[in-house]
Amino acid sequence: MENGAARPAPAVIVAIDGPSGTGKSSTSKAVAAKLGLSYLDTGAQYRAITWWMVTNGIDITDPTAIAAVAGKPEIISGTDPSAPAITVDGTDVARPIRTQEVTSKVSAVSAVPEVRTRITELQRSIAAAAELGIVVEGRDIGTTVLPDADLKIFLTASPEARASRRSGELKGADVNSTREALLKRDAADSSRKTSPLAKADDAVEVDTSDLTLQQVIECVVTLVEEKRAAK
Ligand code: DC
């Protein structure tokens, strides 16, 4: 450390939860980049373990079969918000985890308690190692993974706004079928027994339906700066 160096900003842990299509990933990455924090996409980890199950022929309708091998794949997540990376047993899976096949199976795999225990441990160790702090996005971060986070945000948006954003990302996929698929995945993620998608009691809820991405980012950055200043 150089003499006279400015005192570093205190590490801050930010949990951003909410259903898909609310702008969680874009917001989380931008906030982390702007504030010099690490970034963790926990949905990518659940997608990665799902990809491994599919690739290894595991019957994803059988929770016992999934539980038996939940500890096998080695999942490594990068935490640079400008270049999010994820590997499974050394293979770069950033693209294959976004396929329709993985998307349609991830809720079933992520509902298995042994999968959640494994991935939750991984998430906690990554957050603990982030010296300057981290933005962690997911579904159960504020409630289960990091209940002591400095700031918890719960992003929401109308199903219409979410479906139209998602179909834009999927390069013009049909809005109605995207809406149905989103609602089906939300219902599964919200109704599972182990750490469902839920707003923590102390989370700040932000409805993004009528906000631009820039407005959402500014809102969250302001909230993080307020928390940092109060530490
Ligand atoms: O954010 P995403 O759409 O990439 O997440 C994919 C799935 O992973 C989502 O449908 C539910 C699951 N997930 C979860 O159960 N818990 C998390 N913290 C993050 C994602």
The three-state secondary structure class of 126 is: helix
DSSP annotation of 97: G
Q: Percent of the chain at pLDDT above 70?
A: 96
> Which numbered atom of ligand 1 lies nearest the CA of 123?
18
Listed residue (72, 73, 17) closest to 42, CA to CA: 17
Structurally, how many domains does the chain consist of? 1
Is residue 191 one of the residues assigned to a domain?
Answer: yes
- Is 154 domain-assigned? yes
- pLDDT for residue 172: 65
- Which protein residue's CA is at the shortest distance from atom 15 of ligand 1? 110
Which residue owns the Cα nearest ligand 1 atom 7?
43
- Ligand 1 pocket (Cβ < 6 Å) reads 20, 42-43, 46-47, 106-107, 110, 138-141, 185, 189
Candidates 24, 189, 192: which one to mutate for ligand 1, based on the most atoms within 8 Å of Cβ?
189
Within-domain flag for 230: no
Mean pLDDT of 49-59: 98
Residue 5 lies in a domain: no
With a cut of 80, say whether residue 69 has pLDDT above it. Answer: yes
46 and 110 Cβ atoms separated by less than 8 Å = yes
Q: pTM of this prediction?
A: 0.93
- 101, part of any domain: yes
pLDDT digits (tens, 9 = 90+) for 147-156: 999 999 999 9
pLDDT above 60 for 2: no
Residue 176 lies in a domain: yes
Rounded to whole angstroms, the Cα distance separating 62 from 28 reads 33
Q: What is the CATH number of the domain that holds 108?
A: 3.40.50.300
Structural domain including 198 reads 12-225
Q: How far is the CA of 80 from the centre of ligand 1 (A)?
A: 19
